[in-house]
Amino acid sequence: MIRVAVPTSRGGLEDRVHESLVRAETFTLVELKDGEVKSVEIVENPLPRGALRSWF
């Protein structure tokens, strides 16, 4: 099983990848198994815009 977190603007598989990890509004979490999408979860960025940088 593979889990991928993608920084996105509004979330979801149809959304575009956000150009900045630290300023992404949401993260789209995708779980893959045997090359197929098993689940998709959209999570709001818990920190204010740009504050994620200090979290790393």
pTM equals 0.76
55 residue type, one letter = W
Q: How many CB atoms lie within 10 A of CB 45?
A: 18
Amino acid making up residue 24: A
Which tokens sit at 24?
């992404």
| pLDDT for the residue 50 | 62
Q: With beta carbons less than 8 A apart as the criterion, state whether 17 and 10 touch.
A: no
Residue 12 has a pLDDT of 86
Asked if 31 and 15 touch (Cβ cutoff 8 Å), the reply is: no
* Run means of pLDDT, 10 residues per run, the chain, 56 residues: 92 88 88 96 80 60
